[in-house]
Every structure is written in structure tokens, then in C-alpha cells.
Amino acid sequence: MLLTEKILKSTCFKKEDIRAPQNRAKVGILEGWVSIILNTALFLIKLLFSLITGSLALMADAFHTLSDVITSGIIIVGFKISHKPADREHPFGHGRAEMITTLTVALLIGVVGFEFLKSGILRLVHPVPVTADWLAIAAVIFTIVIKELLSQFSYQLGEIIDSNTLRGDALHHRSDAISSVLVVIALISAKFNFTHLDGIMGIAVAGFMLYSGFDLARSSIDDLLGRPISPEMVEKIRKIALAVDGALNVHDVIVHSYGNSNFISLHVEVPDTITPGKMHTISDQVERDITRKMNADVVTHIDPVTMEGEIIRKIKKLLKSVSSDRKIKFRIQDLRVVGQTEPEAILFELPVPIGDKSMINLKEDYIHVLRKHFPRADILIDLKPQLSQ
């Protein structure tokens, strides 16, 4: 168990499950307030010594830390909004406010970084004497240790509640710690009259801020546009669904994430020999199990498939031989055969990883071999784009 989780369970969450969805906002707000308090203290320390030493690199680093205070305030507001329940205007809740918060944080980091990039270039062209003593250097080293601990704290909280916002804030703290290392180098070099290094390190600090802002923005935009579902999550959903008696296969898993809420849809294959009532029972059970274990709203689509018979065995054998010749894993879904003694139609879906065009040729090979053995049957193969699983 994470050390942070142990500490929280012994203090703030003595009788509560930290990972429970209802505590997501509490954890995010806690991280925000801890960051605000510590970063405010660190900003004042850095600002004081930047004024004493005249170091632009340390001044830039101080305002980098101040930007952490601002972003932590935005994070608190974002978590409070995301925790609001669904309403008429927002039927899926307010969970994506957390993603918008992350994007706002990224833009603010970028603006501050750009301003210090300009200042660093000017300081490089027109150097200014920097006076540094070991007390100032020791103070900056102290802030590095605190920022690294804060980064680990934020990241572990992000892992506990699976929040990219908190992981991003941890990255921001880490970039601040790294930039402070550059400041230490600049201050030490100033003691040996290498004044140009202050401007260079100021530019380097600005570079860290710009990169941090870009990385956070990219992550939040990916979330807003729709980040692909992880193979681990797909497999978890599949295992839950396949544990239900009568569920033969699961495919076309789609997850829409809204902060701490997930909306899941999936196709479940069942034998076409069972009654519609039994199919409905299987669908309901799959939905209940996934909802209970994954805290999600779930919708299932039932696909009756033909499972038995000599014709089915022959079709699968033919298709497997084609896949084997092409050294491709045999995978089809929703296989149905119309007709009793002789097939009138053969229908199935061929899963195609997104961006993979090679499966088009496999489809043509499937059609060719099936028409050769079943000349009177209509062959309908639907290419089904999906994430590789």
C-alpha cells in the first residue's frame, strides 16, 4: 500500500475508503490545499533570496512556484465542480470539469514560462551582477527537497483516485524542483563570477515551465477528445461479463469517462438457441455485475450467435486455415448462419485494429474461400474497427 494512503487512513480518512468515488473530490481538494500552503511558503523564501542576490534564475523559479499556488487553487475549484451531481444541462455529471481544470493549469504555466523566457534572453544579452552566499544556496536546496516530497505526495494521490489532474500537478512540482537545481548551479557559478550562467539557467527554467505546460495541455486535450481505453480495463470488463452464465464472448467495449464516472457499452455474444427472455436475463446480469464492480453506468447489446452444427464447424475450420496461412490470429465475432441444411447467408464481423489496412485483404480471402465451398450463400463480412486488445 502507498505510504501516502497509509498516512491518510490514519488521519483524514480513518473510517472511509479513500478510493471510493464519493471521496475523489475530498482527496483532490486536500492535495490542493497542501500544495497552496507549502508553495506559498516556498515562494516567499525564493522571492526573498532572489531580491537579496539579484538572480533572475531564482526570481523565475520563485514565480514558477507561485504559479503552483495559482494552479492548486484552480484544482480545488475544478474538483468541487466535478463533484456536483448531474442536472438537466449536464446529464452525465460535471466530471470533465477536472479535465478543463488541467487545461487551464497548463495554459497558465505556459504563459509564465514564456514571460521568463523573454527575461532570460534579455539577461543573457545584458548580464547583471549576481551576489550569492551559501545561505541562499542552502535555502534553495531546502526548497528542492520539499518540492520533491510534494511531487511524490501529489502523484500518489493521483494514483489512489486515478486522476490525471493530480498526476499533472505532481509533474509541475517535479519540474519546479528540477528548475531549482538549475538555480543552485547558477548561484554557485555566480560566486565564481560566471554571471552569464544566470541568464542561461533562467532560460532553462522557462523551458521546463513551457514543456510542463505543453505536456499537461496535451494530456487534458486527449482526455477531452477521448483517450483510448486501456487493455487492462478492457480485460477487466471482459472477465466480469464472461463470468455470467450464458455469456460466450465480449467485444466492442466502449468507455466514456467523465472524471470519476464511467459510461460503458459492450456487445455480449449468447447462443441463438436460447429464448429472448434468457438473453435479457444475461444482459441484465452483465450490467449489474459491471456496475457494482466498476462504479459505471452500463449498457449491453446482445448478439445471438450460431454455436453448433457441422456447417459452423466447417466455416470456422476454413477461416482458421486462411488465418493460419497468413500467420494472423483467428478472430471473428457475431457469427450467424441463415439456413438449415444449406447456408443461405453467412454473416460475421472481423475485428480490425484502428489504422490497420492489412485486414481488408484477409476479408477478401475469407470471402473467396467461403464462396468456393458455399456458392449459393450470401457472404456478409463487416470490418469492425476497434482498439487492439
DSSP secondary structure string, 24-78? HHHHHHHHHHHHHHHHHHHHHHHHHHHHHHT-HHHHHHHHHHHHHHHHHHHHHHH
Domains along the sequence of the chain with CATH:
3-225 (1.20.1510.10), 231-304 (3.30.70.1350), 310-386 (3.30.70.1350)
Which tens digit of pLDDT belongs to each residue from 211-234?
Answer: 877 887 887 777 777 666 777 888
Q: What is the pTM of this model?
A: 0.59
| φ and ψ at residue 166, rounded to 5 degrees | -70, -35
Question: Among 217, 235, 224, which residue's Cα sits nearest to residue 258?
Answer: 224
How many Å is the maximal CA-CA distance in the chain? 94
Answer whether residue 340 shows pLDDT above 90.
Answer: no
Which tens digit of pLDDT belongs to each residue from 24-78?
Answer: 778 888 889 999 999 999 999 989 988 888 777 678 778 878 878 887 888 888 7
- Given a contact cutoff of 8 angstroms between Cβ atoms, the answer to whether 310 and 337 are in contact is no
Helix%, strand%, coil% for the chain, nearest 5:
65, 15, 25
In which residue are the cell numbers 487492439 written?
Answer: 388
Which tens digit of pLDDT belongs to each residue from 249-278?
Answer: 888 888 877 655 678 889 898 888 889 899
Amino acid letter, residue 351 = P
